[in-house]
Amino acid sequence: MSSILLFSLIALPYAPDALEPAISKETVEYHHGKHLQTYVDNLNKLIAGTEYESMPLEQIVASSQGAIFNNAGQILNHNLYFLQFAPNPLNANPLIPNPLAQAIIRDFGSFEAFQAEFEQKGVSLFGSGWVWLAADKDGRLVITQEPNAGNPVTKGLKPLLTMDVWEHAYYIDYRNRRAAHLHALWQIINWSEIERRYAE
């Protein structure tokens, strides 16, 4: 008999106000405490009694459709999103020589070119969704635009870094200024975590 996996809201490794001014305490409380909690509650109800109730989250995202995919995808996306941040004093320098930094320069030409392309793809994604830095099976890096609850795992890629372009991620702090929101997030990326994901 398979065991039932009940998903729960991830605990944040920082205080709700720790990411200010890039992301306000109010946004964290709504985005994490309300939006993400709703996806968790919905998924647990949707998968009860189905083949998905014993699957890990990434497997659900890779194999489901419809409401189950939407809620599972949003949980996976938000978990990766919130756990990639840290207050400024904890940030690692992204330009310290390491395999990820070398791959960024190899695949985008420079760190600045990578940032510019990433922001441009975030701004130009129509409607709600996510922009991702992901790696293929050979470790080459790509930037993907994923609408709605999309995640690069559905394309056989490893998700490394993401920025949320659903309005609930930034409207309290930035109103309609999506570009300003994306640009500010570089201040709080914990590159040690992104490097860890790349190395896995």
How far is the C-alpha of 108 from the C-alpha of 54, rounded, in Å? Answer: 39
Look up tokens 């919130």; give the residue: 82
CATH number (domain holding residue 118) = 3.55.40.20
In a domain, 108, yes or no: yes
Nearest alpha carbon to residue 132 among 124, 142, 170, 195: 142
- Asked if 51 and 112 sit in the same domain, the reply is no
Residue 3 reports pLDDT greater than 60:
no
Give the range of the structural domain holding residue 103, as residue numbers without chain letter: 88-199
Tell me the three state secondary structure of residue 30: helix
How far is the C-alpha of 101 from the C-alpha of 98, rounded, in Å? Answer: 5
How far is the C-alpha of 52 from the C-alpha of 73, rounded, in Å? Answer: 13
- Asked if 70 and 114 sit in the same domain, the reply is no
Residue 136 reports pLDDT greater than 70:
yes
**Considering 50, 82, 114, which residue would you say is the last residue of a domain?**
82
List the single range of 59-73, 86-100, 116-130 with lowest mean pLDDT.
86-100
CATH number (domain holding residue 30) = 1.10.287.990
**Considering 82, 99, 118, which residue would you say is the last residue of a domain?**
82
Domains: count for the chain: 2
Query: How high is the pLDDT of residue 6?
Result: 85
Kindly report, residue by residue over 75-100, the tens digit of the pLDDT: 999 999 999 999 986 766 677 779 99
The answer, as to whether pTM is greater than 0.85, is yes
**Considering 64, 82, 100, which residue would you say is the last residue of a domain?**
82
- CB atoms near residue 133 (< 10 Å): 27
- Asked if 77 and 92 sit in the same domain, the reply is no
Nearest alpha carbon to residue 197 among 59, 66, 100: 100
Q: In Å, how far from its chain's centre is CA 119?
A: 14
How far is the C-alpha of 181 from the C-alpha of 170, rounded, in Å? Answer: 6
